[in-house]
Chain A
Amino acid sequence: EAQVTQNPRYLITVTGKKLTVTCSQNMNHEYMSWYRQDPGLGLRQIYYSMNVEVTDKGDVPEGYKVSRKEKRNFPLILESPSPNQTSLYFCASWSDWDRGHNEQFFGPGTRLTVL
């Protein structure tokens, strides 16, 4: 089954304790992205990746890091989480064939609470 998986689904942590949220896709997609969803703000892009070892900032990258060492995986790293990073996080992937008209596929989301 084609899918994007994220782990963990729920996480409660404390300020300053480094954490990683994993994301994996099995569709051989070139592009992957992380979003955060906050009430009234919709989805805002944190980082994206165009392929292995190629990443760039989205609209709200502060306080986050990413890496893309393998095509299928795109972990999101919070080196020193703060309460304002409490949010719902989504990973997504897509390909660039069909002249770029392809939709994104989303993971189930990770609910993060930083105390």
Chain B
Amino acid sequence: GDSVTQMEGPVTLSEEAFLTINCTYTATGYPSLFWYVQYPGEGLQLLLKATKADDKGSNKGFEATYRKETTSFHLEKGSVQVSDSAVYFCALKGGNFNKFYFGSGTKLNVKP
């Protein structure tokens, strides 16, 4: 069945460091891929998405490229800020409109 695997955290970085959070997926067909962010005490918010192979989703300096050949959707940011501290979830939606599959989440701590 469909599934998402993302790197375990927590990830601790200094401000202005480069960020990569790995995400790989298993799916039949052509899924859509998403990154959601959860700030402390809040619900999940969409960060970016990509709906077909080689698409690049981007928002707020974050980027992720839909790589079908490696079944990956890694999240990157060139220079993180303290305000980026949050939990990041990789998610997949396949041909079945009913279900989203989420990774376990990666907590990011950014220190000044």
Give me the interface of A with B, judged by CB distance under 8 Å: 4, 31, 33, 35, 40-43, 45, 48, 50, 56, 58, 90, 92, 96, 100-101, 103-109
In the complex, which residues of chain B have a beta carbon less than 8 angstroms from the beta carbon of A96? 97
Q: Is A103 touching B43 in the complex (CB atoms < 8 A)?
A: no
Q: Count the B residues whose beta carbon is within 8 Å of the partner chain — how many?
A: 21
Shortest beta-carbon distance from B12 to chain A in Å: 18
B73 at the interface (CB under 8 A from A): no
**Contact of A100 with B95 in the complex, beta carbons under 8 Å:** yes
Residues on B lying within 8 angstroms of A by beta carbon are 32, 34, 36, 42-46, 49, 51, 89, 93, 95, 97-100, 102-105
Residues on the B chain within 8 Å of A108, using CB: 42-43
Asked whether B97 lies within 8 Å of A31 as measured between CB atoms, the reply is yes
Secondary structure at the A interface, as helix, strand, loop or mixed, is strand
Are A100 and B97 within 8 A (Cβ)?
yes
Total A-B Cβ pairs within 8 A = 53
Q: Is A100 within 8 A of B89, CB to CB?
A: no
In the bound complex, CA of A88 to CA of B51 (Å): 29
In the complex the two chains form, is A42's CB within 8 Å of B103's CB?
Answer: yes
The answer to whether A45 and B44 touch (CB under 8 A), given A100-B93, A101-B51, is no
Q: Do A106 and B44 form a contact, CB below 8 Å, given A43-B102, A101-B51? A: yes
User: In the complex, A90 Cα to B41 Cα: how many Å?
Assistant: 12
Q: Which 4 A-B pairs have the closest CB atoms?
A: A42-B104, A106-B43, A101-B51, A43-B102
Which B residues are in CB contact (< 8 Å) with A33? 100
